[in-house]
Amino acid sequence: MKKLINDVDDVLAESLAGFAAAHADILRLAPERQFVARRELKRGKVALISGGGSGHEPLHAGFVGHGMLDAACPGQVFTSPTPDQMLGAAQAVGGGAGVLFIVKNYSGDMMNFQMAAEMLDQENETVIVNDDVAVENSTYTTGRRGVAGTLVVEKVVGAAAERGADLAALKALGDAVNKATASMGVALTSCTVPAAGSPTFQIGADEMELGVGIHGEPGRRRVKLGSADEIAAELTGAILKDLSLKPGAEVLLFVNGFGGTPLLEQYLMVNAAHKVLAGAGIKVVRHLTGSYVTSLEMAGCSITVSALDAAQFALWDAPVHTAALRWGM
């Protein structure tokens, strides 16, 4: 294992300390590293809280700030946070208008957030993100997994919360955006959890894992490495089949690097996905490209297509100021 670390047991603590120092104008890190919270809280606003295992940076703490999350709870690498973290976050950022949890659909996240929701003495709702079309079911999920589409849900719902939408409206909006969003990924190499010290999976130099999850867990199938156009056709094809979009539909295209793939290749994949979408008569009206929902140093990418409506596109365009996403302010 070759990583920029001191002691494997201190990776999370030291990385979060650096993150908090680098973005002290936007956020603060709670004692015991329970959660990262927005520095300027807005009274009377529904509090948006997400969280999950670490190793996906900048997700979720990188999306704490104006127009997105109020708090994010970081778990150990690839391990969901514990209920007391979510309770601590809710108590710190809850502004009296209720709490909305945004949870990726993994068994561990679901159970820990559910326990927190049951113990919380504030009105709360949960939006479950399950945008991954690759795998319907596995031991580690309760249905489809939540992957890069989580960013789209957090951005759109965050903007609506900033404008004062109530808890019920935000829950409905989050569910709607999740339903309109589909993703699928491909891995070219594995990733190494620091504390494990060895790669999560073995993959041949000429192989790729189609439909990989964001923890390097298995996907649809292991095949010989294809061209970018072939990969884009497979990923985008599965997404379009799931969303069943009509020609003329307007979408957001989000090509997400998994941590080990350079922007040079990510933009090449944008170009490749464009060809597939144009062939299906789909119009790409918004873009996001970059490594936002990562799997440590895994090479590969995911493609996310989000068929938002006009009001949802307006919320996507709304000002945001977080460590990882910033526009309009």
Q: Which residues form the catalytic set? A: 56, 215
Is there a cis peptide before residue 60, judged by omega within 30 degrees of 0? Answer: yes
Query: What's the CA gap between 325 and 2, in Å, rounded?
Result: 29
By CB under 8 A, residue 107 contacts another protein: yes
Residue 145, beta-bridge partner list = none
By CB under 8 A, residue 309 contacts another protein: no
Question: What is the phi/psi pair of residue 69, to 5°?
Answer: -85, 155
Interface size with another protein, residues (CB under 8 A):
39
Q: Using the 8-state DSSP alphabet, how is residue 83 labeled? A: H
Candidate residues 15, 50, 80, 294; the one interacting with another protein per rule CB under 8 A: 80
Q: Least distance (Å) from another protein to the CB of residue 77? A: 7
By CB under 8 A, residue 75 contacts another protein: yes
Q: SS3 helix, strand, coil % of the chain, rounded to 5? A: 35, 25, 40
What is the identity of the amino acid at 230?
Answer: E
Span of 58-66, 137-145, 165-173, 238-246 interacting with another protein by CB under 8 A: 137-145
- Structure tokens that stand for 181 in this block: 């969003």
Candidate residues 102, 130, 215, 288; the one interacting with another protein per rule CB under 8 A: 215
Nearer to another protein, 132 or 162 (CB): 132
By CB under 8 A, residue 138 contacts another protein: yes
- Structure tokens that stand for 152 in this block: 């789209």
- Structure tokens that stand for 137 in this block: 């079911």
Query: What's the CA gap between 57 and 85, in Å, rounded?
Result: 18
Span of 79-87, 120-128, 161-169, 178-186 interacting with another protein by CB under 8 A: 79-87
Q: Least distance (Å) from another protein to the CB of residue 212? A: 11
Q: Least distance (Å) from another protein to the CB of residue 78? A: 5
Query: What's the CA gap between 43 and 93, in Å, rounded?
Result: 9
By CB under 8 A, residue 118 contacts another protein: no
Tell whether the torsion through CA atoms of 93, 94, 100 and 104 is positive or negative.
positive
By CB under 8 A, residue 108 contacts another protein: yes
By CB under 8 A, residue 23 contacts another protein: no
Residue 99, beta-bridge partner list = 47, 124
By CB under 8 A, residue 217 contacts another protein: yes
* Interface positions with another protein (CB under 8 A): 53, 75-84, 107-108, 111-112, 114-115, 135-140, 142, 193, 195-196, 198, 200-201, 211, 213, 215-221
